[in-house]
Structure 1
Amino acid sequence: MTTPRDLLIVAMDIAGSRPIGPGDLSLALAGAELIDLLESPTIRLDGGRIVPGHLPLPADRLLVEAAASLMMEEPYESVGDWLWRRGDSLAGTYMAALEAEGVVARQGGRPFRDGQRVLVASPSRQQAVERWESAEPVLAGLAEGLGIRGGTGESPEVADYAVATVLAAVNDALLELESERQKRGIEQAAFDNIWRGL
């Protein structure tokens, strides 16, 4: 399993402090992909920019797709820009992959309608749970950004500078997304008040 797959399983399995929207999850999954690519090491960071390497490519199909989507020429893409570009609808892509692999199943659907997706007992789920329960810093850091806290309640410490840079960029992107949501909510409320006053 990979960090993005483990993160999605944890997000489905563990109740967070708030509902996790697909946009938030997609940004975090894109960050998880970058971290796995750093560790492979298919990429490296240089001044906050993603510099593609050559071999080895990861074994996971979705990570290969992520590596193929990297900007291959200078000036290389910043971590933040890549999160927004790669993170577009990424949660749906990973959900479909887990469903195809039998890790996720649909429950309670009527004919021609989607049922709710639920995790099933599987080695992949067990592995993700074990990684979560071990308080592995990368998975814990990504989950914390989504409002999912581990049992210790302490923020995880990541020693690797590149990984810490990606985690910080994910948190910045999540804060930016939430700020944009709040701004739109305020604008919509003001618009609704104007119409009520007419």
Structure 2
Amino acid sequence: MTTPQDLLIVALDVVPSRPVEQGDLSLALAGAEVIDLIDAQALTLDDDRIVPSARWTLADRLLDEAASSLVRQMPYESVEDWLWRRGRGLSSVYVSALETEGQVTRQHGRWIPTRTSRTVLVDSPARRHAADRWTSGEPVLAVLAAAVGIRDKPAEDSPSVTDEAVETVLAAVNNAVLELDAVRQRRAIEDAAFDNIWRGD
């Protein structure tokens, strides 16, 4: 089980505190990949730069794909740049992987299946593992979930992240999500102004 997979399962399984945007989730999944790659010693951080290791052994296909796509020339890639590059459409990639593994199914509506189908988790060891990690308040998963609106920020007395590199990644995820939200708000304002011009307001 991986942190990105656990995060996606929690996103599908838990009623969020606010609607989860796919772009936010994709950024958080990319950050979760970096955290798992740090843990697997497939990379290290030099300040905020991702420095790949010479060798790595990863059992998970998507993590292996992530490690293979790391920039391997100096000055290397910043965590923020990685989030934007790797994160593009990443939530769909992980959902497809869960579908392929039989972890989720598409539940169709009775009358118009193509418009009302939704992704539903099946009972599986992966779902139980993610639920255990979630209910235990594991800090990395809790902070990533808070970043995308699955839950509110962890309480002050909650377990905290103690690894400096992981903290760097989590901070980058939070900043990227805030930046994406600012872009969405700016576009909404511009669209509203454009509509007002056409209506003559």
TM above 0.5, yes or no, is: yes
Q: Which of 180, 185, 188 is the equivalent residue of 2:183?
A: 180
Displacement after TM superposition at 1:41 (Å): 0.7
Displacement after TM superposition at 1:57 (Å): 2.4
Does 105-114 or 169-178 show the bigger shift? Answer: 105-114
After superposition, what is the alpha-carbon deviation per residue over 1:37-81, rounded to whole angstroms, capped at 9, x for unaligned? 000010000021000002332210000000011000101000000
Q: Which of 129, 137, 143 is the equivalent residue of 1:141?
A: 143
- Using a 3 Å threshold, how does the CA distance of structure 1 residues 156 and 169 change in structure 2: closer, same or farther? farther
Aligned pairs (5 A) from 1:57-96: 57-96=57-96
Separation of aligned partners in 2, 1:187 and 1:88: 23
CA contact (8 A) 2:43 2:53 kept: yes
Give the share of equivalent positions with the same residue, in percent.
Answer: 60
Partner residue, 1:113: 114
Instruction: Find the residue that maps to 1:44 and give its secondary structure.
Output: strand
Separation of aligned partners in 1, 2:60 and 2:133: 18
Displacement after TM superposition at 1:150 (Å): 6.9
1:163 aligns with 2:152: no
Give the alignment's TM-score, normalised by structure 2.
Answer: 0.93
Displacement after TM superposition at 1:15 (Å): 1.2
- The one-letter amino acid of 2:114's match is R
Aligned pairs (5 A) from 1:39-54: 39-54=39-54
Does 60-69 or 104-113 show the bigger shift? Answer: 104-113
Partner residue, 1:102: 102
Instruction: Find the residue that maps to 1:139 and give its secondary structure.
Output: helix
Separation of aligned partners in 2, 1:177 and 1:187: 15
Unpaired stretches in structure 2, ≥5 consecutive residues: none
Partner residue, 2:15: 15
- The one-letter amino acid of 1:163's match is V
Does 38-47 or 147-156 show the bigger shift? Answer: 147-156
Give the alignment's TM-score, normalised by structure 1.
Answer: 0.94
Cα-Cα RMSD: 1.9
Displacement after TM superposition at 1:22 (Å): 1.1
Unpaired stretches in structure 1, ≥5 consecutive residues: none
CA contact (8 A) 2:17 2:152 kept: no
Does 141-150 or 40-49 show the bigger shift? Answer: 141-150
Does 111-120 or 166-175 show the bigger shift? Answer: 111-120
CA contact (8 A) 2:45 2:51 kept: yes
Separation of aligned partners in 1, 2:108 and 2:151: 29
Displacement after TM superposition at 1:152 (Å): 6.5
Separation of aligned partners in 2, 1:72 and 1:25: 26
Does 167-176 or 10-19 show the bigger shift? Answer: 10-19
- Using a 3 Å threshold, how does the CA distance of structure 1 residues 182 and 124 change in structure 2: closer, same or farther? same
CA contact (8 A) 2:143 2:154 kept: no
CA contact (8 A) 1:107 1:118 kept: yes
CA contact (8 A) 1:135 1:150 kept: no
